[in-house]
Chain A
Amino acid sequence: MATGAREAAQARGKWLVSGPPILYLLVFFAAPTLIMAAASLRTPGEFGGLAPLVDEAGKLDLNFDSFARFFTEPVYLEVFVKSVIFATATTVLCLLIAYPLASVIATSPKRVRSLLLLLVILPFWSNFLIRIYAWMIILGPNAALARGVNGMLAWFGAGPVPLLFSSFAVLVCLVYVHLPFMVLPLYANLEKHDPALLDAAQDLGAHAWQRFWRITFPLSLPGVYAGAALVFIPALGIFAIPDLLGGPNDTLIGNLIKQQFLETRDWPFGSVLSIVLTVAALALAGLAAWFGQRATRARALVDA
């Protein structure tokens, strides 16, 4: 009897702990997702919003018109592909910059380490939009950077190029904003590596590049995937950066969604775009995880 009571108490405790977060996710994630899914099947209202669910003829008004529109009008797919390209480029650049940075932090003396980590997250202390506006000043036509670049171009006989309001500006800012999200999981992974493994590899005849490629990098893959997911998914849906720093051709899917809800007021089509974005992000993340697992397993077998 006593054990039964204790088990019941344990079960109650488990629900007490996991209940609130589950409730939170249900209310603020699952429910909105379902509302969005439902909205994607409805007809846009004449003056924005949604048309009544049951039309005047008394028929249930659910259709796939908005989905059809996305898949038949190439301009939307183009924007989507462009978003994937931007997000991929951001992820790759972040990885290339963050990996050496995370390695340096992970191998630096313990006292310095926390300071370096603080510096990595320091940008979070100022507002996201303010940081984007700062980039507008840095990349602006009258700033030293643009003058220097265009001065050099003129020297080679090439015309001046605008840095601001271009794909270049969007990419630079995307990388800047997302870099900490790559550095932190990579650092957390690299910091746990046993230095004896590198000693052993060196002792067994591996030079610096082989030690990195055969030992450090494969062992850091979980960190790479975590960082890639943390960068790729938000970068895919971002709208503020292309809005403020991009040119007219730098509309990404995030901007399109914002447009549908706030300007065109076509909620069903906005919902369709959002669903496509969510599904694509999930699919790509899943694919990356699957590849990651396969890569480590295959590598181990190749080694054998």
Chain B
Amino acid sequence: MNCKDIEQDILDFIDGELATDKADKIKKHIGTCANCKAFYDETVALFGAFNKEEQQVPSESLREGFYKLLEEEKQLLNPKVVQFNKQEKAFPWKRAFQVAASIIFLFMGYFLGSHKTGKDANKQIIALQKETNELKEGMVLAMIENQSVSKRIQAVNYTEGFEKPDVKILEALIERMQYDGNMNVRLAAAEALSEFPESIMVKDAFIEALTTQKSPSLQIAIIQFLVKIQEKRAIAPMKQLLEHSDTPDFVKEQVNDGILQII
């Protein structure tokens, strides 16, 4: 056992925590080595001094002083704390709810109102449309026998917007197509009538017109309409047209073309 080992184990030796054989060896060494004896004595003396020293306890006055100081500091900080509270209050939930509610009410009112007026307006528009249609029908009937050709054409053109024209209107148009003195009116009427291909009256009128009308332009317009609606009954009068010597060649061409398309 050398002096270095002694140095390491000396604290455990003093506390008596070493195994007995190791403690005997250290005791023996200390008895022989003056250096180690001196180190041992010093260490024992140091620890003895530590144990002897009384624990320092802070005085009561210090504690009081500290709390006093704390209170003072708190007092000093207090107004600031109040200010913080105020800032937190700056978000006024109640008022926000009020504003939000009023905005919602406003919008609800607006939508409700607009919905209602929209409905009313729709009704009014429908009524107005009906009225204008009636007015237009009246105008058509009043103008369709006007002396002026241009006015008669205008009357015929008025029928363009009609979805389901009155029988009276159709009759007036058919009369124009068949018997109007002016070619252009007859043609305009034929065109106006071709907007109503569902009407049986119109179909019959076109088939009849095919045999009676002599003007090539009108014949072409009639053929085109009958081909468009695939009217099978038109084939016989169309073939008749082909046999007529006074039918112009370009009309015959249209007839041939048309017959092919119908079949």
Q: Is the A/B pair a real complex?
A: no
A residues sitting closer than 8 Å to B (CB atoms) are none
